[in-house]
Amino acid sequence: MATAQRLSAAWPADSRLIDDRRLEIGGVDALALAREFGTPAYVVAEDDLRSRARQYLSAFRTHAPDAEIHFASKANPCTAVLRVFAEEGLGVDVASGGELHVALKAGFEPAKIILHGNAKSEAELRTAIDAGVGYIVIDNFADLERVIALAGDRVQPVLLRVTPDVRGETHDKISTGQADSKFGLSLRDASAAIERAAAAPNLRLDGLHLHIGSQLLELGPWRDAVEAIAPLGDFPVVNLGGGLGVAYTDAEDPPSIEVYAAAKVAAARELLGDHVRIIDEPGRSLVANAGVTLYTVESVKRNVSTWVGVDGGMSDNLRPMLYGARYEAEIADRFGGTTPSRITGKHCESGDVIVAEAQLDEPKPGDVVVTPATGAYGYAMSNNYNGIPRPPVVFVKDGDARVVVRRETFEDLTSRDID
C-alpha cells in the first residue's frame, strides 16, 4: 500500500509525496497533470486557497470582529482565483482598470472593491466611481483633485495613502514604506491632503492607508508604521496594507497568519484606538504556496555547472530575473535528489535562470520538474517573450483537475494584429 508524506511549507497544504518520491497535489498525480495539460502549467490547489482565506478571516476577527480582508489581486489576477475569494467572503483590492474589470467579472460586490494606484487615469477613476467601489485610495494631490472633479454630486468614500517612512526588511524593488517612495503622500504632505479632502463635500474621508513592503518576515516594522501615522488624526478606518512573507524555500520562516494578525491588530488598537475598523490586504500569503509550476526538461548539459533546460522560464516566472527571487525545484516523481543543478529557461537571455541552486535526481530530458510557491506573481507577470504562449491555469481538488485559464496558442500571438 502506498505511503504518503507531507511536504514543507513551500508546497500546497494538500500536496503529498506518494512512496516518498512522487508528487500528488489535491489528490492528483503531478505526472498525470503534465500529460493531460502539457507544460509549462500553473497548478493551483483550490482547497488551499479557501483554507488560507478562512484562516485570515478567523485570525483577524478573533481580535477585531469587524475587520475586513481584501485580496491584493495583483498577486494573482486570475478570474477563478478571485471568484474563490469572493465566495469565501473576502474583499479585493485592484490597481488598474483591468484588475477592476476582472474583479467585477469574478463576482465581487463593488462595495467590497478598493481601487489603488499611484498613476490612476481619469478613465480608471471614472469607471471606479460609476461602479460604486467601496474605496478609492488617494495617492497624491493630482489624484485627489481628479476624484473631486469626477465624483460630481455623488459622495465617494476615500482613504488617504500615507508613506510612513518605515522600511521593512525586504528587497529594494518590493519595499514601499520608505520616505523616497513612488507610493503615497509623505507625512509632511498628508495633513494638507486631509484638510483638502475633508473640505470637499463630495468626498468622505474615512481613514488612512499604509503599506511598507512585500515578503516581510518581521513584525516590528508594522507597529512602527502605525505609530508614524497615528498623529495625523482620529479616523474610523485604517487600512494596514499587506506584505506578510511566505516560505519559498526552507530558508524562510514567516510568522503564521495568526501571529501576524494579532500583532497588527494590537498595534492599531494601542496606537489608534479600539473604535478603528481594520482592513488588511494580503496578496502573496493567500496564493503563493497554493500554486506550483510544472515544466518538462528539454536538455541537460554539463560544463562548469549542470544546466537543466526546461520549456518555460522568464515568460512564466519573472521574479528570479527581476530581483533575484529564490525557489526550490524537484523532479516530480523523484524527490530528494543530490545533483547540483541550475534550472534555466528557454529564452534568449543568460539571466533566464529559474532556480540557481537546485538539487535534482540525475535530471534527463523528458523529466517533469516542479517549482513550488509560484501561485503569486507567476501568472500575474507572465508574458510572451520570444513568442512563447502563456501557460494554462489548472485547478486541482479532491482528485479532479480542471482548466480555468486555457493555454495560449500561436494564433493568440497575432490575434490583435491589424493588416
SS3 403: strand
Q: Where are the domains of the chain?
A: 4-45+288-413, 47-285
- What is the structure's pLDDT at 336? 93
- Per-residue b/e over 127-148, b at no fewer than 16 CB within 10 Å? bbbeeebbbbbbbbeebbebbb
Q: Identify the CA nearest to 329 among candidates 345, 315, 346.
A: 345
pLDDT for the residue numbered 169: 52
pLDDT of res. 171: 41
The grid coordinates of residue 178 equal 520608505
Residues 149, 125 contacting (CB under 8 angstroms): no
| Sign of the four-CA dihedral 172, 173, 178, 180 | positive
Cα separation of 390 and 250, whole Å?
A: 29
Annotated binding site for pyridoxal 5'-phosphate: 243, 281-284, 377
Q: Do domains 4-45+288-413 and 47-285 have the same CATH topology?
A: no
Question: What is the full per-residue pLDDT of the chain (419 aa) written as tens digits?
Answer: 455 677 889 999 989 999 889 999 999 999 999 999 999 999 999 999 999 999 999 999 999 999 999 999 999 999 999 999 999 999 999 999 999 999 999 999 999 999 999 999 999 999 999 999 999 999 999 999 999 999 999 999 999 999 988 755 544 444 454 557 787 999 999 999 999 999 999 999 999 999 988 788 888 888 999 999 999 999 999 999 999 999 998 888 899 999 999 999 999 999 999 999 999 999 999 999 999 999 999 999 999 999 999 999 999 999 999 989 999 999 999 999 999 999 999 999 999 999 999 999 999 999 999 999 999 999 999 999 999 999 999 999 999 999 999 999 999 999 999 98
- The C-alpha cell that represents 217 in the structure block: 518576515
What grid cell was written down for 153?
454630486
Task: Report the distance separating Cα 183 and Cα 162, nearest Å.
Answer: 8
Catalytic annotation present for 78? no
The pTM (predicted TM-score) of the whole model is 0.94
- Cα–Cα distance, 339 to 358 (Å, whole number): 8
- The active-site residue out of 251, 304, 348, 418 is 348
CATH of 47-285, one of 3.40.50.970, 3.40.50.300, 3.20.20.10, 3.40.309.10: 3.20.20.10
Q: CA quadruple 55, 61, 67, 68: dihedral positive or negative?
A: positive
d(CA 215, CA 37): 31
132: amino acid identity, one letter: G
pLDDT score of 176: 52
pLDDT for residue 155: 98
Residues in contact with 370: Cβ distance below 8 Å, sequence separation at least 6, in sequence order: 23, 30, 292, 293, 294, 295, 329, 330, 331, 332
- C-alpha separations of 113 from 57, 188, 276, 369 in Å: 17, 28, 19, 37
CA pair distance 208, 139, nearest whole angstrom: 11
CB 140 within 8 A of CB 118: yes
Annotated binding residues for substrate, as ranges?
284, 319, 323, 349, 377
Query: What burial class does residue 77 get, using C-beta atoms within 10 Å of its C-beta: 0-12 exposed, 13-18 middle, 19+ buried?
Result: buried
Beta strands in 303-386 (DSSP E): 306-310, 330-331, 339-344, 353-360, 368-372
Fill in the DSSP letter of residue 232: G
Give the pLDDT of residue 175: 45
Report the CATH number of the 4-45+288-413 domain. 2.40.37.10
Point out the annotated binding site. Answer: 243, 281-284, 319, 323, 349, 377
All 3 cell numbers of residue 260?
Answer: 501576524
What is the C-alpha separation between 218 and 379, in angstroms, rounded?
Answer: 27
